[in-house]
Amino acid sequence: MRWIILILLTGLLACRPVATNNELHQEPEKKILTGADQTERYLPYLEGKNVAIMANPTSIIGATHLVDSLLALNVNIVKVFGPEHGFRGNASAGVKVKDEIDTQTGVPIISLYGSKNKPTAEDLADVDVLIYDLQDVGVRFYTNINALSRLMEACAANGKELLILDRPNPNAYLIDGPILDMQYKSGIGMFPLPMSHGLTVAEFAQMANGEGWLTDQVKCPLKIIPVANYTHEMPYTLPVPPSPNLNSQQSVLLYPSMCMFEGTYLNHGRGTYTPFAVIGSPELKGIYEFSYTPTGIKGMAETPLFMDQACYGLDLREYDTDLLRQKGQINLQWIMELYQAHPHKEKFFDSSLSNQMGVIEKLIGNGLFRKQLQEGASEAEIRASWEPGLSEYKKMREKYLLYP
């Protein structure tokens, strides 16, 4: 009983009214409140309803998991839908996840990263409202927005409303990269977005509805609890790593620039405790002095590329990520430099040689980039090829923004 009272008190402290514009002007240091933090705005809506939640370890109120917190507040959670890495975040990237019963709460967990990728009519038959609360990192190839779109389609098909508890995008300042050419549509790129899209998940949901991106152009009924005291330009440090291989703020901020290396024959830090912050290959020995050795790490990367081999390349662990913010662009120089330095250029983009996520075309989003690097195109020439699509996207995006 004492721990339940403590959680209730913690929740009440978090239930502060959203600040007015005048209060924000007087208190510029006002704390950012995620949608989940603002329990007073959605608990009345959940009262007396059967609730399902898509959640993972980033779904928190304060330091307590959203599911645990809502159960303590007597919300009737009938099931949890688990995304990639699982509800409790203990599955490696790309590993299929099975249904199970959560050992901590006894709530059934239905995996949407296993035998199916969206809820069925049977899954939703006893559900009145679904909650989506996953931390995103603002890039096209991060799969949370794909999971969100499929949840929206299931809600639309079964007459359910989706409650989105919005969270800040740590890379919200960054809108860059080519728009996905839909002939390269895949599980790591489903929508005509740039590589870094500058949206929160709730803004993306509004865009997916408004632009007719869902299957058969269905529209999902949405209820959104926006982030309070937040703008897109605000730096935001994630309180919980969003996935096992984005385990630090450094990795999160480098990810828009570094994930394209998953389409190359280079190790990008998987098999280390600093993924996406180091990049290298045994074949770069003698060209770069910095080296590291990837190993199998359970729950992160159990069989990484070049496992147990010394890799030579770039060390970005102490790179000043404020430089990315100041420039407002994905860093192309790293991949251009490493391509030029690689002694076996015919291997560089050969994903068949590795167990990487996918070919470069799926990650970049077009069929030009590989050829541009091979032909020695300048960064200015590469960026010019992203237009007018990128500028048109930025204009379209404005219709769906919830924050300045």
d(CA 233, CA 248): 20
Query: What integer pLDDT is reported at residue 100 of this predicted model?
Result: 82
Query: In angstroms, what CA-CA distances link 84 with 145, 208, 222, 273?
Result: 11, 21, 23, 20
Q: How far apart are CA 229 and CA 33, in angstroms?
A: 7
Q: What is the pLDDT of residues 116-157, one digit of tens each?
A: 889 999 999 999 999 999 999 999 999 899 999 999 999 999
Sign (positive/negative) of CA torsion 260, 263, 267, 271? Answer: positive
Lowest mean pLDDT among 155-164, 346-355, 392-401: 346-355
pLDDT of residue 38: 98
Q: Which amino acid is at 150?
A: R
What's the whole-number mean pLDDT along residues 20-26?
A: 41
pLDDT at 353: 60
Token couple for 12: 């009440």
Can you tell me the distance from the alpha carbon of 386 to that of 391, in angstroms, rounded to the nearest whole number? 9
Please give the model's pTM, rounded to 2 decimal places: 0.89
Average pLDDT over residues 270-285: 97
| More reliable by pLDDT, 308 or 15 | 308
CA distances from 339 to 109, 288, 306, 367, 385 (A): 44, 13, 18, 17, 19
Q: Which residue has the higher pLDDT, 120 or 96?
A: 120
Q: How far apart are CA 139 and CA 68, in angstroms?
A: 29
pLDDT in tens, 330-355: 999 999 999 999 999 999 998 666 55
Q: Check: CB of residue 281 under 8 Å from CB of residue 267.
A: yes
Could you identify the residue written with the tokens 């809502």?
Answer: 70
DSSP letter assigned to residue 313? E
Phi, psi (5° rounding) for residue 199? -125, 150
pLDDT at 358: 59
Residue 16 has pLDDT above 50, yes or no: no
Q: Given pLDDT bands bounded at 50, 70 and 90, which one contains residue 17? A: very low
377 or 84, which is more confident? 377
Task: Please give the backbone phi and psi of residue 351, each rounded to the nearest 5 degrees, phi first.
Answer: -70, -15
- Amino acid at the residue 350: D
Task: For residue range 249-261, list pLDDT tens digits in order.
Answer: 999 999 999 999 9
Compare 59 and 14 and report the one with higher pLDDT: 59
Q: How far apart are CA 247 and CA 195, in angstroms?
A: 21
Q: Which domains, from first to last, does the chain contain? A: 2-225 (3.40.50.12170), 249-367 (no CATH)
Least confident of 87-96, 100-109, 364-373: 87-96
Interhelix angle 201-210/144-158, nearest 10 degrees:
50
As given in the structure block, the two tokens for residue 52 are 């399902």
The tokens for 341 are 């330095």
Mean pLDDT score across all residues of the chain: 90
- Summarize the confidence of residues 193-202 as an average pLDDT: 98
How would you classify the pairing of strands 311-315 and 278-281?
A: antiparallel
Give the residue among 34, 25, 27, 65 at the shortest CA–CA distance from 237.
34
